[in-house]
Structure 1
Amino acid sequence: MNAPVKVDAYPLPAGDLKKHGIAARQIDHLDALIRQHIAEGRYPGAQIALARHGELLLFRSYGKTAQDAAAAAADDRTLFQMFSQTKVFTSATVWTLIEEGKLSFMDKIADHLPDFAARGKQDITLHQVMSHTGGFPSANVSEATWTDHELMREEVCDFSLDWTPGTRMQYHPRSAHLVQAMVIEAVTGKDYRDAIRERITEPLGIADDVYIGVPEAQDNRCVMISGDGELRDNRRAHRVAGLPSGGGYGTARGITALYQMLLNGGTLHGRRIVSPRLIAYVSKNHTGEMPDAAMGGTPMHRGLGPHVRGESDRIRGLGTIGAPSVFGHGGAGSSYSWADPTSGVSFSYMTNHFAAEPWHTLRLDRIANIVHAAID
């Protein structure tokens, strides 16, 4: 992985909540709830950001960077582990390759990774991988691949099927985006972490806010994750690895800027990343009401990167009262970010604790509903 070449200024100018029709009373409720959670010991620290129509209206940091009483206070430079929110950045890099004609959603993975055809995977398409219908949700790579991407490619190509591709939808927590990362490397000839930076975070002006692979110079900005989640890994080796499924670190304002770009047809303050038609395609429901066994049978309405609120009574992370077109993604036990095409609002909520269910999902619904209720 190469060191970042440049860091552009953050792209969203500050705006006023009242002028943008965001109810101050609801924001006060949100602030009070987060402070209550921290006082109850639910998580050591948090960060939130809210933007609308290209302006950043709210960016606040709370609590501490770690559960240790001597830990530093979280501030606006603090980088929170994104967990699976990383997935949208990996997929967004694939989107740019689609628009250049270097990939198609209907390509077979084996077209770009010939050895992927092993173990009956020869017909799996990029669309199936990105919509979590590929059939290998339990696959993963060894830690040795974190510093050896040739080995990572070999292990990805050797993934075994759990069920027939295309017959079910089940969240692939690690495997789907490992495949996407290896396709990115095969097509671009670059480390996927460099491709994400060069194609997404640098052009957007959030290269100092979102890192997929944390440079040593930025390591002291990273939170320490508390809790008992199996994905919790506070080692430097994990932070620098920048795993494409959940290894990113970022600020809430950095993530909400990505979603502002998606709400603005793929362009943010003159910086074009993808087209409006591509965004319309990847942010729609590609899996209907298929239940997701990994999410307790909830229909997750998978797009090709984010997932969509839809019309179901049950939904995870995007808010019960959110508009059906709201789309976004969460981070295991910790966070969620989303965009609302009906209002132009994007919102990000980050914490540094891996919370168990059912409390994690319950608090996400409360947080999201407060924000939806604030939108005029």
Structure 2
Amino acid sequence: MDLTAARLQALLDAARADVDARLVPACQISVGLDDEIVAFETFGDAGPGTRFAARSITKALVASAIWLLLGEGLVDPDAPVGRYVPEFDADGRETVTVDHLLLHTAGLANAPMTWRDGTEPDRRRRQFTRWRPATRPGSRYAYHSASAHWVLADIIERLSGTDFRDFVHERVCRPLGLPRVLGIPAAAQQDIATVTWMGTGEWGGGTPAIDRAMNEPEVRAAGLPSGGAFFTAAELARFYQALLYDTGHLWQPEVLADATGTIRCELRDPIFRVPCNRSRGLVIAGADGKHTRRYGAFGHTSSPAAFGHAGAHFQVAWADPATGLSFAYLTNGVVPEPAGEIERAVRLSTHAASLLEPAG
């Protein structure tokens, strides 16, 4: 199937209009179809080789590394984390399972971890011993913006004997023909877009410090497993094509099918006020008509089988098995009003999800 030219132009025009209106300083859009990248455009103060902070889209990438370990029988998703991370075997943490981490139900949403502590295994593990679940593991959904993926990174390191950033590169990115996207050395950061505050004056007082920190070479090099990957939109759309087709047979078929197609948590998302529809690492659109309100930034015309994961300030990445499309939208703008970001993401995703429909 071919893209409908008029609908593709509408998608590109919508992205360009946001830059022209100075809502964002730059953005990239890419579309994948049938295991190929079929559209890739950059607008604003960036070029086709510019990489953007993908933020929480990183979570799906790190989860895909865990899927490799699941397929090799090294990780049991129902097992307590303490089987792999001894520091978890006490103080209420002993009932946290690997699935609880992947599904954001571990009760540790606000557990503290600085990037400096997280990147040093000994310091990271000492910090684990200070964590206490705020709710009974498995009983509630609460978005674990950072904590859960530091534990997943630790599991990767303990089972593989490899730094988690190197494992992601060697076992996921390199086989897919992608460059290193997690843990970028300072000497290789010249093509990364600066995260830019779009409000008036200096950075907004309510803006999370991590937004500004994403411009720091040390933080970029740290490779935060919850939100520190840097992609071009084409690379990201290519990753999602791999999740659709896996022509390189990277993952065990049953593990990949489960991760991209099985909703394992439907607990209510207290932020978006809908069932969270979480799989082991992804968000699935679902058939309840609430898919545009989930943290997948799906379009109105996405199918119930679409899967993906958004990022802070609504970076977008998803794929739709019903059409074979994958879509990525990245920007370096941080805006004062989050509602506008959500609307922009859904609007662009709706254009993208409709690319194979007849125009008119």
Same-fold call, TM > 0.5? yes
Deviation readout 1:202-221 (Å, 9 max, x if unpaired) = 111102xx510112332101
The whole-number CA distance in structure 1 between the counterparts of 2:90 and 2:126 is 11
SS of corresponding position for 1:119: coil
Which of 50, 70, 75 is the aligned partner of 1:103?
75
1:69-218 equivalent positions in 2, closer than 5 A: 74-207=46-179, 210-218=180-188
Which of 264, 268, 293 is the aligned partner of 1:286?
264
Q: Cα distance, 1:156 vs. partner?
A: 2.8
Equivalent residue letter for 1:313: G
1:362 aligns with 2:343: yes
1:310-325 equivalent positions in 2, closer than 5 A: 310-314=286-290, 315-316=293-294, 317-325=297-305
Q: Cα distance, 1:225 vs. partner?
A: 0.6
Aligned to 1:341: 321
SS of corresponding position for 1:222: coil
Q: Cα distance, 1:145 vs. partner?
A: 1.5
Which of 253, 273, 286 is the aligned partner of 2:234?
253
The whole-number CA distance in structure 1 between the counterparts of 2:274 and 2:126 is 33
The whole-number CA distance in structure 1 between the counterparts of 2:175 and 2:94 is 35
The whole-number CA distance in structure 2 between the counterparts of 1:28 and 1:126 is 43
Q: Cα distance, 1:285 vs. partner?
A: 1.0
The whole-number CA distance in structure 2 between the counterparts of 1:106 and 1:143 is 28
The whole-number CA distance in structure 1 between the counterparts of 2:115 and 2:105 is 25
> Which stretch has the larger CA shift, 328-337 or 306-315?
306-315
Which of 219, 226, 230 is the aligned partner of 2:196?
226
CA RMSD of aligned residues (A): 1.4
SS of corresponding position for 2:189: helix
Aligned to 1:274: 251
Deviation readout 1:106-143 (Å, 9 max, x if unpaired) = 12100011111232110111011101111111113124
Deviation readout 1:189-238 (Å, 9 max, x if unpaired) = 1111011001100111102xx51011233210111111243131211111
Aligned to 2:277: 301
Deviation readout 1:337-367 (Å, 9 max, x if unpaired) = 0000011111100011123321111111100
Equivalent residue letter for 1:177: H
- Structure 1, gaps ≥5 residues long: 1-19, 65-73
Q: When the two structures are superposed, what TM-score results if normalisation uses the length of structure 1?
A: 0.87
The whole-number CA distance in structure 2 between the counterparts of 1:111 and 1:157 is 15
The whole-number CA distance in structure 2 between the counterparts of 1:246 and 1:21 is 33
Q: Cα distance, 1:144 vs. partner?
A: 2.8
Q: Cα distance, 1:181 vs. partner?
A: 0.5
Q: 2:87, 2:128 within 8 Å by CA — same for their partners in 1?
A: no
Q: Is the alpha carbon distance of 1:35 and 1:258 closer, same or farther for their aligned partners in structure 2, counting shifts above 3 Å?
A: same
1:61 aligns with 2:42: yes
> Which stretch has the larger CA shift, 239-248 or 146-155?
146-155
Q: Cα distance, 1:26 vs. partner?
A: 1.2
The whole-number CA distance in structure 1 between the counterparts of 2:162 and 2:32 is 32
Q: Is the alpha carbon distance of 1:147 and 1:108 closer, same or farther for their aligned partners in structure 2, counting shifts above 3 Å?
A: closer
* Identical amino acids, percent of aligned pairs: 29
The whole-number CA distance in structure 2 between the counterparts of 1:224 and 1:146 is 23
Q: When the two structures are superposed, what TM-score results if normalisation uses the length of structure 2?
A: 0.91
Q: 2:115, 2:219 within 8 Å by CA — same for their partners in 1?
A: no
The whole-number CA distance in structure 2 between the counterparts of 1:275 and 1:344 is 20
Runs of 4+ aligned structure 1 residues displaced above 6 Å come to none
The whole-number CA distance in structure 1 between the counterparts of 2:56 and 2:356 is 26
The whole-number CA distance in structure 1 between the counterparts of 2:325 and 2:129 is 39
Q: Cα distance, 1:147 vs. partner?
A: 4.5
The whole-number CA distance in structure 2 between the counterparts of 1:101 and 1:147 is 26
Q: Is the alpha carbon distance of 1:157 and 1:23 closer, same or farther for their aligned partners in structure 2, counting shifts above 3 Å?
A: farther
The whole-number CA distance in structure 1 between the counterparts of 2:193 and 2:128 is 29
Q: Cα distance, 1:334 vs. partner?
A: 3.7
The whole-number CA distance in structure 1 between the counterparts of 2:304 and 2:128 is 35
